[in-house]
Structure 1
Amino acid sequence: MEVAIFSSTPYERQYLDEANKATNHKLRYFDESLDMDNVDLAAGFGAVCVFVNDKANADVLEALHKGGTRLIALRCTGFNNVDLKAAAQLGLKVVRVVDYSPNSVAEHAVALLLAINRKVHRAYNRTRDSNFSLDGLIGFDLYGKTVAVVGTGKIGCVFAQIMIGFGCDVIGFDPYPSPQFEALGGRYATPGEIGGRADIIALFCPLTPATHHIINSETLRRAKPGALLINTSRGALIDTEAAIEALKSGQLGGLGIDVYEQEADLFFRDLSSEIITDDIFQRLVSFPNVIVTGHQAYLTREALTTICETTMQSIMAFEKNEKLENEVKAA
C-alpha cells in the first residue's frame, strides 16, 4: 500500500523502514506537517500516517478523502488532532498506537521531576562556567512526600510504581479506577486531597473536553504551596498563563513539561537561529524552576520500534480487509 508519512524525521525513518521490511508498503516521507496548506501532497496515497501535531480536522479529512485516502494511521496514542466524527462521515478509518512503551514516558516524567527538584539543569550550567557554588540548589527528599498521579492508566501506573519505590505516598485521580494502581500500593484521593496534600502532581491523562485545562487558576490556587507539576501527556491539560502566574507568586514551586499548549508551531524543528515570537513560551522558559523538553518522553529505541511496527501492521490489516485492532471511533 502507498503511504504518505507526514512530520517524518531522519531518526524515525530508520525505524519505519525496518518495521516495513515485514509489510513491504511503499512509504513516502514528508518533512512537512499535515494541514490544509500541504494536504495536496497526500493525493493518490491510500493511507496517510500522521503524528501528534499534524492537523486532521474536517477540512483536511475531506481533502484527503477526495485525493483517494481511506486510512489515517496515527503513530502515537493521542488522537485529539483528528476529527473522528468527520472521519466516520467520510468513511475514513482511523488507527492509532494503543500501547508502545509506558516505561519510556513514565521514566521521562521521573527525569523531569528529579531535575526540577534537585536543580540539575542549573547545576549543569554553573559547572560548565566553573561556578561550583551551591547557593539556590537546595531540593527535598522524595521519600515520604505525597505524589498525585492524575490518570492511572498504563503510564500512570508505571510512574506510580517508581514513586512508591522512592518511598512516596501515591494518591491517584481517574474517573475509571485501576485495580492495578491500587495493587501497586497507590490509593485514590478523597475530594480536595490532591490540592491539600500533594507535593508533586503528575499528569498522565488524554486530552478531552473534560480534561482541557484541568490545571487552571482555580486548581493551582487550591494546590499545596510550592508543589511541583509534571506533564508528559498533552500541553492543553495546563492553562499555561495560569501556570505562569502561579510560578510568579511562588504558589507553584516548579514545572517540568514535555508538552506545550501551542507546541505545534515550535516542537520537532530547529529554531535556534530564529526569533521565537511566542511570548507565553518565552515567559515560561525564563523561569529558573521550569524545564521544557520538546515532546521527547516517548523517544526510546524500544518505544520507536513498537510504534513503527504497530503502525505498519495496522496498515497491512487495513489493506487485507482484516479487523483493525487499534481502530479509533467517534464516541
Structure 2
Amino acid sequence: MDVTIFSTLAFERPFLKQANAGRHQLHFYDAALTPETVPLAQGSQAISVFAPDDGSAPLLAQLWAHGVRHVAVRSAGYDNVDLLAAHRLGLGVANVPDYSPHAIAEHAVALMLALARHLRQANEQLRANDFCLDKLIGFELYGKTVGILGVGHIGAVVARILHGFGCRLLGVDVLPNAELTQRYGLEYVPLPALCAQADILSVHTPLTAQTRHLLDDEVLARLKPGAMLINTGRGGVLDTAAALRALASGRLGYLGLDVYEAEKGLFFANHTRDPLRDAAFAQLLTYPNVLVTGHQGYLTQEALTNIATAVVASLDAWALGQPAPHEL
C-alpha cells in the first residue's frame, strides 16, 4: 500500500520504518495536511495524520478525489478529523487508543510533583547561583484529594499511581469503573462536588462538542482556593482565558499543561527565531506557578513503538481489505 504520512516528526521516522519493515511504501512529509499540501497524497491509498493536521470535511473530500481511502491517526484523539464526513465519503479512519496510558499518566504525575515542589523556580534559582529556600516551600501529595476528570485507560493509571502516594481519589466519568472503586477507593461524584473537594484536578477527558471549554469560569470558580489543575488530555477542554482569570484571582494556585487549545501551529516546531504572537500563551508563561510542556506526554520509546506498530497494523488490515483493529 502506498501511504503519505503528514506532520512527520524526525524522531518518529525510525519507529515507523522499523514497524513497517518494508511492507508498505511510506512517503514522509514534515508538512501538515492543509489545503496547500493535500496534493502530496496523490496516488496514495492511505494517509497518516497527527495533531497539527486538518482533517476537515473539505480536505477529506479532496483526499478522496486524489484516491485516498484510509486515514490512520497517530494518536488516541481524533478531534481534528471530521468523522461524519469521512463516513459519508467511505473513508476508513483508525486511531491508536491505547499506545501507552502509562506515558501520559506518568507525565501528569510528574507535572503535579514539579509544581508541588516548585522545581521550575528551584532550577532557575540554582542556575543563578541562588540557593535560598525561602520561596520553595511545597506540599506533599500524601493525604491530598485528587479529582480525575475522565477515568478511562489513562485516568485509571493515574488513579493507581496516586493511590500509591496515599491520595484520596475522586472521579468523573460517564462510565464508572467499579473495579477502581474496589481496588483504589476511587469515589465517583458529579463535577461540582469534585471541584469543591479536590486539591488537584487532573484532566483526561477527550475533546468533544460537549467537553469543549468544559472547564470555564463557572467550573473553575468552584475549585478550592489555591487548587492545582493538570491538563494532559486535550487543550480545548480548558478555556484558557478563564484559566488566566482564575490564576490572576488566586483561585487557581497551580497550573500544569501538556496541551493547549491554540497549540496548532505552535507546538511540535522550533520557533526560537519567531516572535511569540499568542498573547494568552505568553501571559501563561509569566506565572511562576504555571508549568507548560509542549505536548510531550506521549514521548516515550515505548509509546512511539506502540503508535508505529498500531499504525502499520491498520495499514496491513486495509491492504487485505479488512477493517483496521481500531477503526472508528
Give the structure 1 partner of residue 222 of structure 2.
222
Output one character per residue of 1:44-68: Cα deviation in whole Å (capped at 9) or x when no partner: 1110100122110001101100001
**Partner letter of residue 175 of structure 1?**
V
Given that residues 195 and 222 in structure 1 are in contact (C-alpha distance below 8 angstroms), is that contact kept between their aligned partners in structure 2?
A: yes
Q: CA deviation at 1:180?
A: 3.1
Alignment of 1:8-47 (within 5 A): 8-21=8-21, 24-47=23-46
Give the structure 1 partner of residue 300 of structure 2.
300
Output one character per residue of 1:229-269: Cα deviation in whole Å (capped at 9) or x when no partner: 00001000000000001001100001000000000020000
Given that residues 216 and 238 in structure 2 are in contact (C-alpha distance below 8 angstroms), is that contact kept between their aligned partners in structure 1?
A: yes
Q: Does 1:52 align with 2:54?
A: no
Give the structure 2 partner of residue 285 of structure 1.
285
Q: CA deviation at 1:127?
A: 0.5
Q: Does 1:140 align with 2:130?
A: no
Output one character per residue of 1:161-189: Cα deviation in whole Å (capped at 9) or x when no partner: 11111111001000111123213321112
User: Runs ≥4 in structure 1, deviation > 3 angstroms?
Assistant: none
Q: CA deviation at 1:207?
A: 0.4
Aligned residues: 327
Given that residues 172 and 191 in structure 2 are in contact (C-alpha distance below 8 angstroms), is that contact kept between their aligned partners in structure 1?
A: no
Output one character per residue of 1:293-312: Cα deviation in whole Å (capped at 9) or x when no partner: 01010111111101000100
Q: CA deviation at 1:69?
A: 0.3
Whole-angstrom distance in 1 between the partners of 2:168 and 2:53: 38
CA RMSD, aligned part only? Answer: 1.0
Whole-angstrom distance in 1 between the partners of 2:281 and 2:200: 22
Whole-angstrom distance in 1 between the partners of 2:188 and 2:167: 14
**Partner letter of residue 135 of structure 1?**
D
Given that residues 157 and 180 in structure 1 are in contact (C-alpha distance below 8 angstroms), is that contact kept between their aligned partners in structure 2?
A: no
Given that residues 7 and 30 in structure 2 are in contact (C-alpha distance below 8 angstroms), is that contact kept between their aligned partners in structure 1?
A: yes
What is the TM-score normalised by the length of structure 2? 0.98
Percent identity over the alignment is 45
Given that residues 49 and 75 in structure 1 are in contact (C-alpha distance below 8 angstroms), is that contact kept between their aligned partners in structure 2?
A: yes
Which moved further from structure 2: 149-158 or 173-182? 173-182
Give the structure 2 partner of residue 276 of structure 1.
276
Give the structure 2 partner of residue 253 of structure 1.
253
**Partner letter of residue 3 of structure 2?**
V
Q: CA deviation at 1:147?
A: 0.2
Give the structure 2 partner of residue 108 of structure 1.
107
**Partner letter of residue 205 of structure 2?**
C
Whole-angstrom distance in 2 between the partners of 1:111 and 1:140: 14
Q: CA deviation at 1:191?
A: 6.2
Give the structure 2 partner of residue 192 of structure 1.
192
Q: CA deviation at 1:117?
A: 1.1
Which moved further from structure 2: 188-197 or 157-166? 188-197
Give the structure 1 partner of residue 82 of structure 2.
83
Question: In the superposition, relative to structure 1, how do residues 132 and 191 fare at CA in structure 2: closer, same or farther (>3 Å)?
Answer: closer
Given that residues 152 and 181 in structure 1 are in contact (C-alpha distance below 8 angstroms), is that contact kept between their aligned partners in structure 2?
A: no
Which moved further from structure 2: 242-251 or 192-201? 192-201
Output one character per residue of 1:65-95: Cα deviation in whole Å (capped at 9) or x when no partner: 0001000000111111111111111111101
Gaps in structure 2 of 5+ consecutive residues? none
SS in 2 for 1:32: coil
Q: CA deviation at 1:190?
A: 5.0
Give the structure 2 partner of residue 171 of structure 1.
170
Q: CA deviation at 1:323?
A: 3.1
Given that residues 313 and 324 in structure 2 are in contact (C-alpha distance below 8 angstroms), is that contact kept between their aligned partners in structure 1?
A: no
**Partner letter of residue 290 of structure 1?**
V
